[in-house]
Structure 1
C-alpha cells in the first residue's frame, strides 16, 4: 500500500444518504478528495444533483450509495414475503424458532371487511393460535424428556437450550396472517424498485406497506424514492399470465415426490472445472473447455479435490462454482419455505400460497 493511500468512513451521522451518494458519484469527474467533495455539498445541492443525473439521465447506480436501515413491525408474514422478494437487500426477521406468538399477533385483511367469510377467517385464526398455545407446553414436556437438564445447569440455561427445539416444532401452527417484525438494510435504487412492486401488489396490506416505506424513506432520501409508483406492467402481466396458465396448462396430477430435479446442465462439471482453470490459466475459454472435456477421470477428480478439499468451515468456495445450474421443483409448507428463502444467491419462483396442496 502506498504511503498516500487513505481509507476512511463518510459518517452517516454527519452526512445524509443522498449527500454520500453524490460524493461518491462526483469522484468520477472531480480530482478532489471525498472529504473535499462532501464539504461542498448540502441536502439541497444533493437533491438537485439526483434530480438531474439519477432521475433525468437515468444514472440509477448512483442511488446504490444511499443506504437505509428500515425497521418494519407488525405486518403479516405474507406481507414480509412481498417485502423480501427484493434480493438485493439484507433482512433479519423476528424468529418463529426462538420467540412465542400471542393470540393477538395476527392481521385481518382489509379485503374481508363486510365479507361473509370474515367471521370464518377470524374463527380459523383463533383456533390456530389456540392450538399453538396449547402445543407449546405439551411439546416442551416431550423435549424436556429427550434433552434433560445437565448437571449444574440452571433453569434459565436449560430453557434457552431447549427453547428453539419445542418452539420450532409448534411454529407450524402459525398462519400466514401471523404478525412479524423485520429489519431491512437496502440501497435507494433497490428500495425504489421494491416500493414500486409493493404498490403494484394485489394485496391491500402490501400496497399500504409500500406507501409507508416510501413515506419513511423520503425522510432521508427525499429525491431518490419519490418517483416510486405502481407499475401497470406488473398488474397486466399477472392478469394475463394467470388467465393463460388456466387456458394452456392441464390440471396437474398429484405428485409423489416433494423434491424434483427437473433440469440441469449436462456439462455442469465441465463448466465448473473450465471456469476455475480459465481464471488461473492463460488460455481462452473455448480452448480450456475442450481440454477439460478430454481429461481422464483421475485428472478430473484431482482438479475437483484442488477446488474443494482445503475448504474450511464458514469459508465460501470459489465463485466459479456458480457456473453450475440446477432447477428444482419443491413442494413445501410455509415453514419449510422460510428456511429456503433466506438463501438469496439463487433465483426463486414461489407460487401463491394456497390450500390447494393441503394444509395443517
Structure 2
C-alpha cells in the first residue's frame, strides 16, 4: 500500500524519489553555549595558567640575570662608569690568569667536600634515629631544625670565637687532652674544617628533616617482613630505607652541591680582621668572595661577571658528575 505525504504543493508519494531541493533538511547541532565554551577553555588553558607564575619568576629572577651577567662579562664594564667596549673573552683570560682564582677555587671545593659529605651522612643517621618510636620525638624533630633558623651572621661570629687561635673554646678543649693550640685562622686546612663545621651545624638538621619525610613514606610492611626474616635494625636501614629514599638523596646531594660551591657568608665573617679577603694569604677565600672582590672592591663588573660564569660552569660540571654517579649506582642496583 502506497502512502502519501501531504504538502503544501500537493501530494507526494513516499516511495517516489524526492525532487531536488524538497528533501528533508539535516538537523544541525546547536552551537555550544557560553558555559560550555568557558568550561572547555578552562579545561584546556588552566594548567598553563597554574604553572605560569613559576616560569615567569624563573625568567625574571633566574634566566634574565644569568643572561645579563654573560653580556656584562664580555664588556669592559665598570661599577661607576657603566658599559664600556666589547672585549670578548678578555675578562675570562684575566680571571684565569689571576693568582687568586685557582687557589680560591681549590678552597671552595675543599670546604664543599669537608662540609657536604659528613653533612649528608650525619643527616641520614639522624633521620633514621628520628624515624623510630622515640619519646618526645616531636621535640627532637623541632630541636634539630633550630640551627637552620639562626642567622648565618650570628653563626659565623659565634663559631669564629669558638675557633679562636689563642682563647677559643675548641683549643682549650684540645689542651685538656694534650693537643697544642691549632691556628684555625691561619692554617689552610684547619680554617676549612672550622668553616665546614659552621655549615654542617646549620644545615644538617634541615637535611635530616627532608630525609625523615621520605622515610615516613616507606611502607611499614617492608620492615615487618624484614623483621620476620630476622633482619636487624641496621640491616633494615641499609637494605630497605636507603634504597627507598634514593630520589630524596639525589635531591639533597644536588642542593648541597649547589649551596656548598656558593658559600660566602661563613668564610666572609669567619675573622673580623682578615676575612675580608679570605684570610691574610686567602687561605680560606672562596670563588664567591672573589666575585665580591672584583665587583665591589675593584669595581670591575666585567671580571666579576666572568668569575660568576666560571663558577656556574664549575657547578654544572659537578652536577653532571653527580648525575653520572647516580645513574651508575642505579644501574648497579638494577643488576643486583
What TM-score do the two structures reach when normalised by structure 1?
A: 0.24
Larger radius of gyration: 2
Point out the structure with the larger helix share. 2
Point out the structure with the larger strand share. 1
What TM-score do the two structures reach when normalised by structure 2?
A: 0.25
